[in-house]
């Protein structure tokens, strides 16, 4: 998928470009900078870095990657957090924008970022994440590149307290409801099974009122009247909203080749996270999303954490897939896209 969040050491990530949160001067700093020098080969990288000279905050420069599993290292200098009133947000945005632009100039197919400026520079992690997602999302709307946000540990990643509190309350409420409903599930399942069996026997043996028994609809016709398949419903929704394919697959965090396969295969059966991603890209209501997923034989469960997070986002008008993925990542759930 075009955008991923992973837990790893960035010096071990295989990508065309690795981004380093660099010291402004050509010397080895701490944190990510120190780790990158150690993994790349400190002497060779420092010599290349000296050829560049000083880098201003927000700017980016490139060196070879030497011993790293990459072709290039892009060095960018993040802002030291003071109070948020000294242009820190603008500098951090420039770090991502300039690094991505330089990667595009290098014709890179993939780039891996740390969460810039959240270590010794002290940028608040939730605000830094919001800026990273915003700038990466903006870039991917007009470029084809795999962008990986690499988080080393649990403490390096944080969502806003307001969002987390709201989601926690939503999950608690609905999981309690699911537990209460489970107490009576066995009886309901038995009744539902009996109802379905009766309906099946009725469909097979009992014609509609006024129709002779031997004139009941054949099974082939019954199956042909089930409505749209997933592909048909998806592209009808796209047309109804006046959207084009590129906009949809980019907003869904789906690779162009995967989307082309959906377009070409009438019997395409999507994975759940792919189907949900497309529903998010189309900004469907809960009812519309449920209908689209049903065409693929997929349903959202009131007791599943992934499903509850998706429901929360849709009900609260959160359709930015990168922010939804950050939320899913925080809860250890699969992220959306393909």
pLDDT at position 222 over 50: no
70, pLDDT greater than 70: yes
Question: Residue 1's pLDDT is what?
Answer: 86
33 catalytic per annotation: yes
pTM summary value: 0.80
Residue by residue, what is the 3-state secondary structure of 49-85?
A: HHHHCCCCCCCEEEEECCCCCCCEEEEECCCCCCCCC
The residue assigned the tokens 């014609």 is 207
pLDDT of residue 208: 42
pLDDT of residue 170: 75
Q: How confident is the model at residue 217 (pLDDT cuts 50, 70, 90)?
A: very low
The domain spans of the chain are: 3-158, 163-186+226-330
pLDDT grade for 166, boundaries at 50, 70 and 90: confident
Return the exposure string of 217-230: e unless at least 16 CB atoms fall within 10 Å of the residue's CB, then b: eeeeeeeeeeeeeb
Q: How many CB atoms lie within 10 A of CB 157?
A: 20
Q: What is the distance between the alpha carbons of residues 329 and 3, in angstroms, rounded to a whole number? A: 12
Closest CA to 116 of 16, 32, 9: 32
β-pairing verdict for 146-151 and 3-7:
parallel
Q: According to the CATH classification, is domain 3-158 in 3.40.220.10?
A: yes
Give the per-residue pLDDT at 159.
67
Out of 9, 16, 33, 255, the active site residue is 33
């Amino acid at each position: 998928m075009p955008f991923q969040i992973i837990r790893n050491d960035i010096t071990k990530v295989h990508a065309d470009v690795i981004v380093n949160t660099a010291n402004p001067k050509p010397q080895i700093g701490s944190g990510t900078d120190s780790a990158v020098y150690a993994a790349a080969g400190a002497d060779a990288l420092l010599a290349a870095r000296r050829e560049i000279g000083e880098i201003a905050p927000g700017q980016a420069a490139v060196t070879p990657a030497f011993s790293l599993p990459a072709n290039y290292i892009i060095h960018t200098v993040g802002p030291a957090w003071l109070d948020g009133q000294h242009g820190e947000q603008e500098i951090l945005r420039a770090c991502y924008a300039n690094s991505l632009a330089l990667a595009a100039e290098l014709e890179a197919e993939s780039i891996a970022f740390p969460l810039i400026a959240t270590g010794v520079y002290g940028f608040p992690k939730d605000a830094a994440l919001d800026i990273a997602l915003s700038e990466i999302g903006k870039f991917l709307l007009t470029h084809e590149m795999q962008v990986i946000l690499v988080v080393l540990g649990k403490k390096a990643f944080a969502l806003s307290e307001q969002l987390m509190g709201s989601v926690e309350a939503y999950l608690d409420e609905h999981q309690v409801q699911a537990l209460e409903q489970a107490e009576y599930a066995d009886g309901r399942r038995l009744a539902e099974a009996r109802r379905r069996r009766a309906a099946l026997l009725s469909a097979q043996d009992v014609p509609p009122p006024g129709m002779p028994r031997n004139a009941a609809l054949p099974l082939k016709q019954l199956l042909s009247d089930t409505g749209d398949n997933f592909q048909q419903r998806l592209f009808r929704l796209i047309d109804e909203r006046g959207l084009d394919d590129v906009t949809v697959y980019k907003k869904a965090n789906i690779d162009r080749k995967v989307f082309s396969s959906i377009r070409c295969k009438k019997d395409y059966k999507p994975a759940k996270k792919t189907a949900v991603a497309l529903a998010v890209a189309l900004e469907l209501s809960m009812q519309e999303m449920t209908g689209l997923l049903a065409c693929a034989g997929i349903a959202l469960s009131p007791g599943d954490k992934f499903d509850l997070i998706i429901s929360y986002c849709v009900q609260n008008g959160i359709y930015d897939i990168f922010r939804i993925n950050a939320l899913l990542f925080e809860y250890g759930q699969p992220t959306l896209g393909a």
